[in-house]
Amino acid sequence: MTPRVAPGGWRELGPVNWLICCAMARAAGVPEARVFTTLGRARGTFRGWLHYSATLMPFGRLTRYETELAILRVAHVRGCEYERDHHLRLGARAGVTAELAERVFTAPDSQAWPPRHRALLAAVDRLVEQGDLDDDQWSELAAHFSGRELIEIVLLVGHYNALATALTTLRVERDLT
């Protein structure tokens, strides 16, 4: 797969974005986090996106564990390998073991999940596939999450769905580990 927009270096990113990308790669545990070196080429738009993204993850109201479950499910439903790889690494730090990640991918409706997480994963599927929740699904989700968390879930899923679109369309290559 050839990237449609090549990742940028110092010249393409500018000094601020280049430093941000270096820090983000280090935090992700990779030599280069191509999501950032690609999107960083958009300069100011990248910094705005990064700020918004950070308000959802890692600084959102949901636990990091729940956030990573939702993101991994989005990545799976969308078939976005970059997003999946990146969040398998981040999810492991938040307590998402390889066994749990596999269950996110293959059995989101398993009775092994607590009801709160089954509702979250079901909502992810519906939001990605149909862009809405019916009243029964909303009620199920609302039984487990506060109003503020419900808003954040919708924004988180929408954001990572959009990011999967960008990564796929731009043909961002997977990071080397």
Q: Dihedral sign, CA of 74, 79, 82, 84?
A: positive
- pLDDT of amino acid 26: 93
pLDDT single digits (tens) 103-132: 999 999 999 999 999 999 999 999 999 999
Phi-psi region of 138 (alpha: psi -120 to 50; beta: other; left: phi over 0): alpha
CA–CA separation, 38 and 139 (whole Å): 39
Confidence of residue 176 (pLDDT cuts 50, 70, 90): confident
Q: Looking at the domain 64-170, which fold is it?
A: AhpD-like (1.20.1290)
pLDDT single digits (tens) 46-93: 999 999 999 999 999 999 999 999 999 999 999 999 999 999 999 999
For the chain, which residues make up each domain, given as ranges? 10-56, 64-170
pLDDT single digits (tens) 5-47: 999 999 999 999 999 999 999 998 899 999 999 999 999 999 9
Q: What is the pTM assigned to this prediction?
A: 0.95
